[in-house]
Amino acid sequence: MTKKKRPTLQDVADRVGVTKMTVSRYLKDPAQVSAAAGEKIAQALDELGYIRNRAPDILSNAKSHAIGVLLPSLTNQVFAEVLRGIEQVTEAAGYQTMLAHYGYSAKVEEERIASLLSYNVDGLILSESYHTARTLKMIQTSGVPVVEIMDVCSSCIEQAVGIDNIAAARAMVEAMIARGYRHIVYLGARQDVRTLQRQQGYAAAMQLHGLMPRSLLTERASSYSLGADLLAEALDKYPELDGIFCTNDDLAVGAIFECQRRGIAVPGRIGVAGFHGHDIGQAIVPRLASVITPRKAMGQVAAERLLARLRGEPIGERTLDLGFELKLGESL
């Protein structure tokens, strides 16, 4: 199929009866032309279906007005809400997001960042705190501002916005212990940094009360079916268990479904708690106990901080902990 010729700046200028430079100024900042001319140019752009070509800006190392966003999962509700927060801020400021998915792999993240930097993105929002040496070198060489999200416990490149996963997990397990649970097992998937941090918080709470921490971890991706499988495995290995704390709500909901399938009362026989506060956890019966995390706000604040750096503002506090909330629901 032959590629159709796109309308040019000259086509728009001819339609309106102004110079090409006037149209160019309008595209860069509508306030640079009169209101009457701007209205006519906007109408001509719509009528012609004009598509702006940013290649000259990229080639000249000018601002691309694009922000690179690295996400480990495109199906996880957590990152969908984070992205919603990011784009609410970036779109209002005239920036586009360029998304890259890396599947929790540091090596793939490295490749995606190299690709985004080749498009001259103005800044990066990263979902991890640990990166390959080449990734760190590329970011340093590019000089673009970077904000890392989700984790404030680890060291950061420039700025980090997120929550203390260790403290959040510890608080939920403390709440479970306060309700009388003593044989609590931790279920984790992926074994990424945040999963291990939550395991650390879980173990700290258990040990503080003289209880034995027991964990089941897998490299498999989180899902309801995985939660069911891990619950079954936990019951086989630790038949005395009376509580389950999961690294996320997908596993927790799957564990509850498996309990119901087996006729195990929740919370009568087993208490179940998750992490993140997904909608499904609040829709099932019993309502899931969960750590509520400010996912949309995390994206908003990260984008605001990145745009502040692009405006030339200095870095203030390097890490910002947005906190968490415990919702004990009906499953404990």
Return per-residue pLDDT of the chain as tens, 332 residues: 455 677 888 888 899 899 989 988 898 888 898 988 889 988 988 888 877 766 665 555 567 789 999 999 888 889 999 999 999 999 999 999 999 999 999 999 999 999 999 888 999 999 999 999 999 999 999 999 999 999 999 999 999 999 999 999 999 999 999 999 999 999 999 878 999 999 999 999 999 999 999 999 999 989 999 999 999 999 999 999 999 999 999 999 999 999 999 999 999 999 999 999 999 999 999 999 999 999 999 999 999 999 999 999 988 889 999 999 999 999 99
3 inside domain: no
Do 74 and 149 belong together in one domain?
yes
**Is the same domain home to 225 and 254?**
yes
Q: Are residues 74 and 27 in the same domain?
A: no
Residue range(s) defining the domain that contains residue 224:
165-292
Look at residue 69 and give its three-state secondary structure.
Answer: strand
Claim to verify: residue 45 and residue 87 sit in the same structural domain: no
Same domain assignment for residues 182 and 264:
yes
Query: What residues form DSSP beta bridges with 317?
Result: none
Query: Cβ distance 66 to 97 under 8 Å?
Result: yes
Q: Does residue 248 share a domain with residue 303?
A: no
- Establish if 102 belongs to a structural domain: yes
Could you tell me if residue 239 is inside a domain?
A: yes
Is 201 in the same domain as 120? no
Judgement on whether residues 207 and 123 belong to the same structural domain of the protein:
no
Helices (H), the chain: 9-16, 20-28, 35-48, 55-59, 77-92, 106-118, 133-142, 165-178, 193-208, 224-237, 249-262, 279-283, 295-310
171 and 195 together in one domain: yes
**Same-domain check for residues 299 and 188:** no
Number of structural domains the chain divides into: 3
